[in-house]
Chains A and B, each alone.
Chain A
Amino acid sequence: MLIRLLLFLLLVASTNILGESLYQFQNTADEERFYSLIKEIRCPKCTSGSLASSNAPVSEDIKKKIIELINEDKTDDEIRLFLSDRFGIEVLYDPGLNRSTYILWIAPGLFLFIALLIFFFRRKA
């Protein structure tokens, strides 16, 4: 029984050789930042899904790295940049505001504005 347990555990254990994966934070605000960040970082190995919903080995590695960076007082933006430099911008669920994404962020407001305009314009006519 015990041997089976041990064998099973070997199977489910991650490829974590050094075993130092403690989620230690300096304060609760940092802890909250972490849990909030991992929801918007994509798991690079999964078909879709955030780090929060993945326990793939690389996801665990990235999570530990994020904790490291948080404890080094890096800001959220710096952490996002760090990850997108290495895994591509597709690893961020927030595509950011830049020349190629302006249209994404502005279009909804524009749509609403134009629709309301048409609505009121047609009523006056």
Chain B
Amino acid sequence: MTVFLRLLILSISLSFFYFFYLYINEDKYYPGASFQTSNMPLFELEDLYSNKVITNFDIEEAYLINVWASWCITCRVEHGFLMKLSSQGIPIMGLNYKDDRNDAINWINKFGDPYKQIIHDIKGELALDMGVTGAPETFLVKDSQIIAHYRGEVNDMIWGDVFTPIINKENIFNAN
């Protein structure tokens, strides 16, 4: 009996250390990336330019949603890459997060518009429903399902490591 207990103590300790060894060596994906699928929330918000109300749109089968604001400094850094994506034909919806309408429009006029359409989420309601914690964040949506969510600035590296695999797997955006 005591032999059993002693072996138990030894084997538990050993597996304990072994687990940590495995855990430390594990190739960690980007901590800001999440691939939990969820439904794209329903919403009714205004377009940034007109007062036209938008609800969930089915204009594309798959698209990106990029959360941005004129007060967000990192968004300015990310912007160049978004312009590049947009020029490659990737459909990006803008979610203007808790931003003054005029500030946002001026920002776009100054730096350029990579977005097919921009939702003016002034209170951050849609953002809250999507689990947004700040800007910039980018979502990949297919068939009204959020299939990828990245918190932070998207650039060549992140696009390649985080988004490209799932884009290829889901076979969306055709080329690329």
Contact = CB atoms under 8 A, between A and B. Distances in A.
A–B contact (CB under 8 angstroms): yes
A75 interface: no
Interface string B108-150: 0000000000000011100011111110000000000000000
A86 B131 CA distance: 5
A85 interface: yes
Given A15-B71, A17-B100, A45 B134 contact: yes
Contact of B122 (A17, A61, A62, A118): A17
A57 B38 CA distance: 24
Given A17-B98, A118-B5, A88 B71 contact: no
Interface in B84-109: 98, 100
B34 interface: yes
B1 interface: yes
A45 B131 contact: no
Contacts, number: 36
Interface in A51-107: 56-58, 61-62, 65, 85-88
B25 interface: no
A61 B124 contact: yes
A85 B128 CA distance: 11
Interface string A24-51: 0000000000000000000011000000
Interface residues on B, range: 10 to 19
A86 to B, nearest CB: 4
Interface in B1-23: 1, 5
A56 B132 CA distance: 13
B128 A86 contact: yes
Contacts of A112: none
21 contacts: A15-B98, A17-B98, A17-B100, A18-B122, A44-B131, A44-B133, A56-B133, A56-B134, A58-B133, A58-B134, A61-B128, A62-B128, A65-B128, A85-B38, A86-B129, A86-B130, A86-B131, A87-B131, A88-B36, A122-B1, A125-B1
